[in-house]
Structure 1
Amino acid sequence: MVADSNSNKQSVIPCKVCGDRASGYHYGVTSCEGCKCTVIRLNRNRCQYCRFKKCLAVGMSRDSVRYGRVPKRSKSQDHDQRVSSTDNLQEQTALESKQLAIYDVILSISQAHHAHCAVTEDKMKNFTRKNATLVEKIECTDGALQFTDEQMEAQRLSMWCQLAKLITPSVHSVVEFAKRVPSFSELSQDDQLILIKAGFFEVWLTRMSRMFNRNENLVTFEDGSMIHKDELSVVFSVTFVSSLFDVSTSFNHLNLNDTEVGLFTGIVLATADRPGLSDSKGVEQIQDKLIEALKLQVSRNHSTEENLFASIIMKFPELRTLGHQHNELLKWYRVQWNRISLPPLFAEIYDIPKQEDVSQVPAAYTV
C-alpha cells in the first residue's frame, strides 16, 4: 500500500516546462520527454526559441539543453571541466545570448510583416479579385481617327494617377513595417525617411512578387484589382514591365514564407549606400543582423536546399537595378507635376511636387 501510494505520487509530478506529466529528472529539473529539447522532424516546426527560454528559466543546465544528454561515463569529468572552465561557460553564454537575439529579430520581423503587409498568405485567401483598368475615356474631336500627342500624354498621366491610387496603401504599410524593424527607429528621422523613400519601390515589388501572374499577364493589387501587363507598359515601358514580371516570377519561385519575405524586405530597407545617409555604419549594422537572421531562418526551413540562401542574396542587385530604372522613368512624371493630382503619400514617397503645400509632410507619413 505504501509503495502504491508513493508510485501514485511520483506519477503525477508535473513537468516544470510545460506542466504535463514528468517522465524523470532531465538536465537538472523534472520534465517530460517532449521538453528535453530534442528536436526531430515531427516537432521541428514548434517554437524552439520559446521552449529554449522556458527550459533555461526553470533551471535546466545550459550545456545540457544546448548539446543534449551527456553520456554517463563522462558526466563527472565534464562536470569538473565546466566548474573549472569559467571562460568556456562565458563563451557558451555569449553564444546563447547571440542566438536568442537573432531569434528576437526573426520574431519581431515576422510580427511586423504579418501586421503590415496586405498580401500575406493568410490575407490572400480572402481576396476578392476583380477585373480593372487604368484607362479613362479620352474625348476626341469630331472626325478624328487618332489621338494627338497631347491627348496621349494626358492619357498616360491619367493612367499613372490611377496606378498611384492602387499603390498608395502600400506606402503607409511599408512605413509602419519600417518602424518595427529592430534598431531602425534609433536612426535619425532624416535617415529613416531616406531609407524608406529610396527602398519603397524595391520593397513593394518584393511583396507583390506573388501577385504577378505571368500566364495571364496580370498584376493583382491590394484591393483585388487586376491590371493587365499591357496597361502597365503604357505607364512605364514594355522592357521595364517585362523585367518586373521576370524578377517577380523568379523571386516567387524561391517559395519563401511570409517571415522570410519580411526579413528580405527589412534587408532591402537597411541599405547602407543610399545617397544622403548620415549614419551609414549604423544602417549597415542593422542590415548585417537581418542577413544573419534570414540565413538562420532559411537554414531551418529549407535544410535540403543548399544553394537557396545564395539565390536569395542574388536578388538584391536585380531589385536595385529595377529601382534605378524606375527612378529614371519617374523623371518625366515629375516634370508634369502641375498637370496631375496625386495622393499625397504617393507624391511624398517619390519626391513629386504637389500643388497645395509641397513642403508639408502628411501626418500619416511621419515616422
Structure 2
Amino acid sequence: SCIINKSTRNRCQYCRLQKCFEVGMSKEAVRNDRNKKRKEVVARSPEIVPRSYELSPEQEQMVDKIRCAHQETFPSLCQLGKYTTNSCADHRVQLDLGLWDKFSELSTKCIVKIVEFAKRMPGFPSLTIADQITLLKAACLDILILRICSRYTPEQDTMTFSDGLTLNRTQMHNAGFGPLTDLVFAFASQLLPLEMDDTEAGLLSAICLICGDRQDLEEPQKVERLQEPLLEALKLYVRRRRPSKPHMFPKILMKITDLRGISAKGSERVITLKMEIPGSMPPLIQEMLENSIEGQDNACGQNANKKH
C-alpha cells in the first residue's frame, strides 16, 4: 500500500518489489541468479560481508527477540522424536477419521502456539484488541502452512508435526488436507533451496502477521509502521548471511505471495471439511482458519488494486 517513487522507494522493500511486478518486471528475473558467471569466482573466495549489511544494536535485539519467540513456540525437526502410523498410508480416501482426529488436535495446539508467538512480536500488544484479532485470523493459516512445510523431509516425502507425528503425502491427504495436499507439498519443496534458518522463518512469519493491508483494521497505518522495521531487518539479515546471493531476499519475500494463494484455498478447505467430518469442527480451527478467508483478496502482496 506504500506510495513508491524516487524519494520513497527505499522505505518499504516489499511494496517496492510488488510495484516492480505491477509494471511488468518478470518474476524470473528475481528467481534466476543473475550472477551465474561469477559463481565459480565467488565459490573460491571467502565471503566478505559489506558494512552496509550490518544490523544496528536495536535491530539485533529485535531479531533476537523474534528468533527466540519462533524457537520457543515451534521446535525444529532435529529436536523432535519422529513416529509414524500405518493408518491409510498407501491409498487416498476422502477422509480418515482417525487421522483427522489427530490432525485436528495437533492443529489446535499449533494455533495456540501461533497466538503465543504473535503476542511476543515487537509492537503487537500495542495494537487495539480488535486489530490484534484481525491480524491473527488473517495470518494464522499462512504461518501454520509455513511451519508445517518447514518440517518437510524430501527423502521420505513426509511432514512432521510438533509432537513428532510424521505423515507421508497420502496420509496428509487423508488427514484432512484433501485437494490442498499437492499444493502444500510443492510449496515445501520450493522452500528447501532457500535454506531459511529460524531467524528468517521467524521474521517471515512476523511480516505475514503484521500486515497493514488486512481488511477491517482500525489503525492500518500503525500496522504498516510496525512492519517496516521487520522488512528492513529481514533484508539485512538475509544479505549478511548470504552476501554472494543478492537476490535471495526478494526470493524469500515472494514466498508471502505464494502463502496467500495457498491460504485462500486452505480457508475454503476448512469449509468443505465441515461437511465431511461426522461431528463439529474444533472451535479454534473454525474461528481462526475459516474466517481467514475474509480479507484474503486484500492481503498485502495479493492485489495491488485493492488498497486501504
| Alpha carbons 2:87, 2:99 under 8 Å: kept | yes
Query: If you compute each CA radius of gyration, which structure gives the higher value, 1 or 2?
Result: 1
| Structural RMSD (CA) | 3.0
| Alpha carbons 1:157, 1:340 under 8 Å: kept | no
Shift of 1:129: 0.9
Shift of 1:290: 0.5
Cα distance in structure 2, aligned partners of 1:324 and 1:206: 14
Report whether the alignment pairs 1:340 with 2:297: no
1:198 to 138, 141, 149: 138
Structure 2: 5+ residue stretches without partners: 1-45, 292-308
1:129 to 82, 98, 102: 82
| Alpha carbons 2:274, 2:281 under 8 Å: kept | no
Aligned residues between the structures: 240
| Alpha carbons 1:178, 1:269 under 8 Å: kept | yes
Summarize deviations over 1:91-147 as a string: whole Å, max 9, x none: xxxxx9x9333223212212211222222xxxx334211112666xxxxxxxxxxxx
Secondary structure of 2:172 counterpart: helix
Shift of 1:165: 1.1
Summarize deviations over 1:158-206 as a string: whole Å, max 9, x none: 6433311122221121111111111111111111112112211111221
Secondary structure of 1:274 counterpart: coil
Cα distance in structure 2, aligned partners of 1:293 and 1:133: 44
Report whether the alignment pairs 1:106 with 2:46: no
Cα distance in structure 2, aligned partners of 1:225 and 1:285: 39
Match of 1:262 in 2: 202
Summarize deviations over 1:300-324 as a string: whole Å, max 9, x none: 1111111110111111110000000
Report whether the alignment pairs 1:317 with 2:257: yes
Shift of 1:273: 2.0
TM-score (norm 1): 0.59
Match of 1:237 in 2: 178
| Letter of the 2:287 counterpart | E
Cα distance in structure 1, aligned partners of 2:275 and 2:136: 22
2:128 to 171, 184, 188: 188
1:214 to 123, 129, 154: 154
Larger RCO of the pair (alpha carbons < 8 Å, separation 6+): 2
Cα distance in structure 1, aligned partners of 2:87 and 2:184: 18
Cα distance in structure 1, aligned partners of 2:189 and 2:276: 32
1:304 to 244, 251, 267: 244
| Letter of the 1:253 counterpart | P
Cα distance change, pair 272–156 in 1 and its aligned pair in 2 (3 A): farther
| Letter of the 1:199 counterpart | A
| Alpha carbons 2:66, 2:202 under 8 Å: kept | yes
Shift of 1:342: 4.7
Secondary structure of 2:218 counterpart: coil
TM-score (norm 2): 0.69
| Letter of the 1:131 counterpart | T
Task: Write out the 4+ residue segments of structure 1 that deviate beyond 6 Å after TM superposition.
Answer: none
Shift of 1:156: 5.0
Cα distance in structure 1, aligned partners of 2:250 and 2:79: 33
| Alpha carbons 2:270, 2:286 under 8 Å: kept | no
Cα distance in structure 1, aligned partners of 2:235 and 2:280: 43
Match of 1:117 in 2: 74
Cα distance in structure 2, aligned partners of 1:99 and 1:346: 39
Cα distance in structure 2, aligned partners of 1:207 and 1:252: 13
| Alpha carbons 1:267, 1:291 under 8 Å: kept | yes
| Letter of the 1:128 counterpart | G
| Alpha carbons 2:67, 2:198 under 8 Å: kept | yes
Structure 1: 5+ residue stretches without partners: 1-40, 45-65, 68-95, 136-151, 353-367
Match of 1:224 in 2: 164
Q: Percent identity over the alignment?
A: 27
Cα distance change, pair 156–190 in 1 and its aligned pair in 2 (3 A): farther
